């Protein structure tokens, strides 16, 4: 598959960082955590990065910037900005989920024959909140 827009490559790059960055969230890995939910969404988009909207790419880029800021602040001792950065990171996760989930849902709705996509879409369905 050819990635037609350089910004879409950010989905592939940043999604790898979601799993590798320890500062993602304090409840990383917990069932229903924003980090886990976003990892599932991005896994589907990795199959077809062109399905990611610009809003999704921008949200992932902003999330990565916040993660880097938090990582840097955590290396300093007694930095009061760490709590603020954690709050911003939580908001960035919510924004990324909000902006990327519709892209993943649309990609999954199209279906296809790619087994990676089918597996990723099952995970996205598990992460999706129940209808109200």
Instruction: Kindly tell me if the per-residue pLDDT of 125 is higher than 70.
Output: yes
If pLDDT is split at 50, 70 and 90, which confidence band does 90 have?
very high
Mean pLDDT lowest among 45-49, 101-105, 125-129 = 125-129
Percent of the chain clearing pLDDT 90 (strictly above): 31
Report d(CA 99, CA 94) in Å as an integer: 9
State the Cα angle at 42 between 37 and 44, rounded to 5°. Answer: 105
If pLDDT is split at 50, 70 and 90, which confidence band does 76 have?
confident
- Which has the higher per-residue pLDDT, 127 or 68? 68
If pLDDT is split at 50, 70 and 90, which confidence band does 124 have?
confident
pLDDT per residue over 91-109, tens digit each? 999 999 999 999 999 999 9
Q: Are 5 and 50 in contact (CB under 8 A)?
A: yes
If pLDDT is split at 50, 70 and 90, which confidence band does 74 have?
confident
Spell out where 6-112 has E strands. none
State the Cα angle at 13 between 8 and 16, rounded to 5°. Answer: 135
Please, what's the b/e burial string for 70-86 (b: 16 or more CB within 10 A of its CB; e: otherwise)? beebeeeeeeeebeebb
Report d(CA 32, CA 21) in Å as an integer: 18
The per-residue pLDDT for 1 is: 44
Report d(CA 56, CA 101) in Å as an integer: 8
């Amino acid at each position: 598959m050819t990635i037609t827009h350089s910004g879409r490559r950010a989905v592939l790059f940043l999604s790898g960082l979601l799993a590798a960055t320890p500062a993602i969230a304090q409840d990383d890995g917990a069932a229903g955590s924003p980090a886990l939910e976003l990892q599932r969404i991005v896994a589907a988009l990795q199959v077809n990065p062109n399905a990611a909207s610009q809003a999704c790419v921008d949200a992932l880029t902003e999330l990565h910037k916040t993660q880097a800021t938090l990582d840097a602040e955590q290396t300093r001792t007694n930095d009061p900005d760490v709590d603020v950065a954690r709050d911003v990171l939580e908001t960035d996760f919510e924004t990324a989920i909000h902006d990327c989930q519709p892209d993943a849902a649309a990609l999954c709705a199209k279906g296809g024959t790619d087994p990676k996509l089918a597996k990723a879409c099952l995970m996205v369905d598990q992460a999706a909140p129940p209808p109200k």
